[in-house]
Structure 1
Amino acid sequence: MDTDEDHSDTLIVLQHPPVYTLGNGNSEKYLNFNIEESPIEIHRIDRGGEVTYHGPGQLVLYPILNLRYQKKDLNWYQRSLETVIIRALQSAFSIKASTIEGLTGVWVGDQKVAAIGVMCAR
């Protein structure tokens, strides 16, 4: 093993200006408007999933880590992120959140409060 390799993880926390991001498997029909006449910026990005809106007041977290030092399993990673979000909402705000089987993300009742999009590189 290379002793100079960086084993540290990073978490970037921010808010975006109004923007739509389109994942690799996107369908523009979910924008509900003509993409050529978009009211805000649209960016195609290298992650799975469909259309996601980001804007002021919405907290966005970008964890950057090497899964070789965790577990090489993206499904496990997404489920772990959901668990962290559920625990954080309960601990910090006494909000009871949950997952919905077969879907990625976190819900409070029938409202999705956390979307998860993952990009993986070798």
Structure 2
Amino acid sequence: MINKTVHIQDLGTKDYQETWDYQTALLQEIVDLKIANRKAQIDLQTPNHFLFVEHPHVYTLGKSGDLSNLLLNEAQLAAKGASFYKINRGGDITYHGPGQLVGYPILDLENFFTDIHKYLRLLEDVIIKTLAEYGIESERSKGETGVWLGVGTPFARKICAMGIRTSRWVTMHGFALNVNANLGYFDNIIPCGIKGKAVTSMEAELGKKIPLEEVKEKILKHFKTAFEVERFDY
């Protein structure tokens, strides 16, 4: 039975490993229900979740990423108060930290559509439309997942990174939008393994801090439209 309700949780500031474990548990719960449905030949609804979170300083490397894109050793990581994890999403290396809004949709795509490419493009659309509400013109960069500014110019810069994992059409991980993030932490990596391109934030583009709660509301508004969500459950 199709379920287009999405349960929203705002985790506040939460350790990366704890959040990763929580995502994994939610995904496994959905996968187990899908397997049980199939075995019993029944059709119980599977839930959908959307987590908002900010992480303490952390660098994460995707499963196909290159460790050489992390430009710090263990001692330097410790000196910067940052941790590091090699994780099971797609993509290369990225940074998460205070002032960055991270969204983790844990959706059973069989409730929506079974197309990973479409899923990523819709997530990008959600961010592009959210940024447009602030007068920030953003777009995709061909062959590079995420949301960018100044594509095709010498000033191309990434404002939102994306990386996901799926199991039996259930998603985890998601997007990281630089709202008021400290961009200096990106100097310690080759972001997403892409050399010669900068990163930016909403604060850097607009010259002022942006309320995270306001951005969350706009993201959810566009997410609801893009994914034809029937309702949010809080």
TM-score in same-fold range (> 0.5):
yes
Stretches of structure 2 that go unaligned for 5 or more consecutive residues are: 2-41, 151-155, 169-234
User: Which of the two has greater strand per residue?
Assistant: 2
Distance 2:143 2:62 in 1: 19
What is the aligned partner in structure 1 of residue 54 from structure 2?
A: 15
Q: Matches of 1:38 and 1:116 in 2, distance apart?
A: 26
What residue is the counterpart of 2:109 in the other structure? 67
- Which 4+ residue blocks in structure 1 deviate beyond 6 angstroms? none
Aligned to 2:157: 111
What do the CA deviations read for 1:24-77 (whole angstroms, capped 9, x no partner)? 00111100123x435121112111111111011111011111111222111111
1:50 corresponds to which letter in structure 2? D
Structure of higher CA gyration radius:
2
Q: Flag the structure with higher helix content.
A: 2
* 1:31-110 equivalences in 2 (<5 Å): 31-34=70-73, 36-39=74-77, 40-91=82-133, 93-109=134-150, 110=156
The alignment's C-alpha RMSD in Å is 1.5
State the one-letter code of the partner of 2:118.
W
Q: Percent identity?
A: 41
The aligned amino acid for 1:88 is T
Structure 1 portions without partners, runs of 5+: none
Structure 1 residue 3: deviation in Å?
4.5
Q: What letter is aligned with 2:84?
A: I
